[in-house]
Amino acid sequence: MIDYQTASELSLLWDKNKPLLVITFIDSECTTCSEYQELVIPTIMENNIEHYSVDVRNNKIPFPPMLLPTSYWFFDENRPPMVKKGIPPNKSMLIELINKAKKVYYGESTSDQEFF
């Protein structure tokens, strides 16, 4: 867990010279958020992606996400982070998302080709 200030700094300083980055906003008392932490975060980290969580209950956040968990994926410095809400319906969809993000990050494809 990191605080909101640290998450803000990480996001503002992120560029292609740093590893792929995912910052997730969670609620420590949310069942879905607990499932996200158990099911999604290990898969993200197994794929050499930096991941940090921010607990909305323990941080003063000016504009908290309306739905939790909400993840911000940083992999294309030419675009704002991709926002993903909730938990992917299955692991294969998460792996597909990770693979697409990596293709963009490593210059093998573009965000437009993979996501739009």
For 60-111, write each residue's pLDDT tens digit: 999 999 999 999 999 999 899 999 999 999 999 999 999 999 999 999 999 9
Closest CA to 66 of 20, 30, 13: 30
* Domain spanning 4-108: CATH superfamily: Glutaredoxin (3.40.30.10)
Q: In what order do the strands lie in the sheet with 70-74?
A: 50-55, 21-26, 70-74, 82-85
Task: Give the pLDDT confidence score for residue 43 in this predicted structure.
Answer: 96
For 62-76, write each residue's pLDDT tens digit: 999 999 999 999 999
End-to-end Cα distance, the chain: 31
pTM of structure: 0.95
pLDDT > 70: what percent of the chain? 100
| 68 CB-near residues (< 8 Å, 6+ apart) | 25, 26, 27, 30, 32, 33, 56
Domain range annotation of the chain: 4-108
Task: Give the pLDDT confidence score for residue 116 in this predicted structure.
Answer: 86
